[in-house]
Amino acid sequence: MRKGIRAIGVCGVLALTMSNLAGPAMAAAAPTERYLHVKVDDASKGESVNVNLPLSMAAAILPTVNKGSLHNGHVTIGEADFNGVDVRAILDAIRNAPDNEFVTVKEKDQDVRVAKSNGNLIVHVLDKTKDGEKVDVTVPMKVVDALFSTTKDNELDVAAAIRALSDAGDAVLVTVQDATQHVRIWIDSHSSSE
């Protein structure tokens, strides 16, 4: 009887030791979770919205949604939305081109700038009429490539773009600022947006 109790005790100690050893090793092997953060602040109304979405969760959920224009992680876009522009050809040209400013439009009401810099596609819009609304979009070229990696011309592969975002470094993707509102979308490895 005593031998039995001793054997159970030894097994218990061994199991605890193994779990203590295996725990940190498994934790070290697990890839760091990446988060997509959305923060909206409206100073005039005193409102704020924070969304922190694990990218692994987004990547797992998207392919399961089949509703409207979203199917298996792909978004179908009408031909009209492209306005007859061959987006793939333009992206090919941008991908192969060195860092440069591709479009600069300066108008009375609006400034637009499209550029490629350090492997990122940058779009900057300044609307001078609406409370000085300022939009900055910075998307890694890898993510843009993933977005247009589908074989169909009228589809965007959002799931592939999310996967590409997971592999990209910390980055601020979108900022929108006007007189009262501030919107910020970014990715990093922190579970909170603070």
Partner 1 sequence: MVLLGKVALGIAGTAIAGIGLICSEGMIEVNVVEKQPEAHHVYVLAPAMLVPIATHFIPSSKLGHASAEIKPWMPTIRAALEQLRAVEDVTLVEVREPGQHVVVAKSGGSVVVDVTDKDDVVHVSAPIRAIESTVEQVAAASAETQD
Is residue 43 near partner 1 by the rule CB under 8 A?
no
The DSSP-derived string for 42-63 is ETTTTEEEEEEEEHHHHHHHGG
Binding-site size, partner 1 (CB under 8 A): 20
SS3 (DSSP) at 106? strand
Binding-site member from 19, 50, 69, 104 for partner 1 (CB under 8 A): 50
Q: Is 53 in the site for partner 1 (CB under 8 A)?
A: yes
Tokens coding 87 = 């987006």
User: Which range binds partner 1 by CB under 8 A, 56-64, 112-120, 166-174, 175-183?
Assistant: 56-64
Three-class secondary structure of residue 109 per DSSP:
coil
- Closest by CA to 194, choosing from 59, 48, 58, 55, is 48
Is 170 a binding residue for partner 1 by CB under 8 A? The answer is no
Question: Is-contact 190 34, C-beta < 8 A?
Answer: no
Minimal distance in Å, beta carbon 38 to partner 1? 9
Q: Which of 20, 44, 64, 118 binds partner 1 (CB under 8 A)?
A: 64
**Residue 56 binding partner 1, by CB under 8 A:** yes
> Angle at Cα 97 formed by Cα 86 and Cα 187, nearest 5°?
80
Q: Evaluate whether 164 touches 58 at the Cβ level (below 8 Å).
A: no
Beta carbon nearer to partner 1, 39 or 134: 39
Assess contact for 34 and 165: CB atoms under 8 A.
yes
Closer to partner 1 by Cβ: residue 69 or 100: 69
CB closer to partner 1 out of 29 and 89: 29
- Retrieve residue 73's tokens: 């992680």
Residue 49 contacts partner 1 per CB under 8 A: yes
* Residues near partner 1, by CB under 8 A: 33, 35, 45-54, 56-57, 60-61, 64-65, 191-192
